[in-house]
Amino acid sequence: MRRVVVEIDEARCDGCGECVPSCAEGAIVLVDGKARLVADALCDGLGACLGECPQGAIRVTEREAAPFDEEAVARHLASAMPPAPRKPAAPQVATVPAPRRSLSVVQPALDASAGGCPGSRSVDLGPPRRAPSGPAPVTQGQLSHWPVQLALVSPGAPWLAGADLLLAADCVPFAYADFHRDLLAGRRVLVGCPKLDDLQGYVGKLVELFRVSHPRSLTVARMEVPCCGGIVTAAREAVRLSGVALPVTEVTIGVAGARLS
């Protein structure tokens, strides 16, 4: 079948390994100092690894490839898990990253030496700002519907028809103080987490939503961290698959709260 899948330019790859932990399916490994795609069937094609490569050696391309196989992913991840010790010297507590919320796949622990996802690294932005003394000014909220989680929204909800949509990563409203005024006003919002949720499920849901509701425009708001780029990739792929002419605008919010684009 013809589908979108990751492609790695070995000539540009320097073997830094930053892309390896970003792939939840374990589809990328280092072989002889170069990043390699283990098998097409293990790659969901959503490109969560794209922003991790400092050399720009990874891209997604549409070509003939085996279909994405979640069962093969589960077997691959299980085979990569280190065996448990038979007789531990003392009780141990195993710590593994949380699986994507809609999948039952257990992800292998990340190698700290590989750096992990930059979006998960601890950053101190300084002491919290103190609230001003006296009554706080009243800010008019711009939320016009419920629910807002993409997984809970019905594609046929009447308030979606012909709407200007805002697809926002979960962290955006917390980081961006002007979220309601600048981004939410006049738009219908859908939220989700590209790091923890099933991006393939996002694509399917959005394709159905676009075909049923024919929205007027789509704004995708993401955080600057590389692993948040998956929500943009999923949105653009859904627009392509739906066949709906839908203009897409990408907005990036910095972890310190500034609008970067």
pLDDT of residue 115: 43
Q: Is 34 exposed, middle or buried (0-12, 13-18, 19+ CB in 10 A)?
A: middle
Per-residue pLDDT tens for 102-115?
A: 433 333 343 433 34
pLDDT attached to residue 71: 85
User: How large is the average pLDDT for residues 250-261?
Assistant: 94
Whether the per-residue pLDDT at 66 is higher than 50: the answer is yes
Average pLDDT over residues 234-250: 94
Instruction: Please tell me which residue, 158 or 131, carries the higher pLDDT value.
Output: 158
Which of 64-78, 81-95, 162-176, 192-206 is predicted least confidently? 81-95
**Do the Cβ atoms of 169 and 222 come closer than 8 Å?**
yes
Sign of CA dihedral 137, 142, 144, 145: negative
Q: Which two tokens stand for residue 118?
A: 């930059």
Tell me, what DSSP letter sits at residue 259?
B
Cα gap 184→165, rounded to integer Å:
9
pTM over 0.75: no
Q: Which domains does the chain have, with CATH numbers?
A: 1-81 (3.30.70.20), 158-253 (3.40.50)
Maximum mean pLDDT: which of 42-56, 89-103, 138-152, 175-189: 175-189
Query: Which pairs from 93-99 meet CB under 8 Å and 24+ separation?
Result: 98/196
Q: What is the mean pLDDT of residues 7-32?
A: 86
**Per-residue model confidence as pLDDT tens digits over 120-149:** 555 555 666 666 666 666 678 899 999 999
Residue 132: per-residue pLDDT: 65
Q: How far apart are CA 5 and CA 108, in angstroms?
A: 22
Spatial CB neighbours of 124, under 8 Å, sequence gap ≥ 6:
none
Mean pLDDT calculated for residue range 161-190: 95
Please tell me the predicted confidence (pLDDT) of residue 119.
55
Band the pLDDT of 76: cuts 50, 70, 90: confident
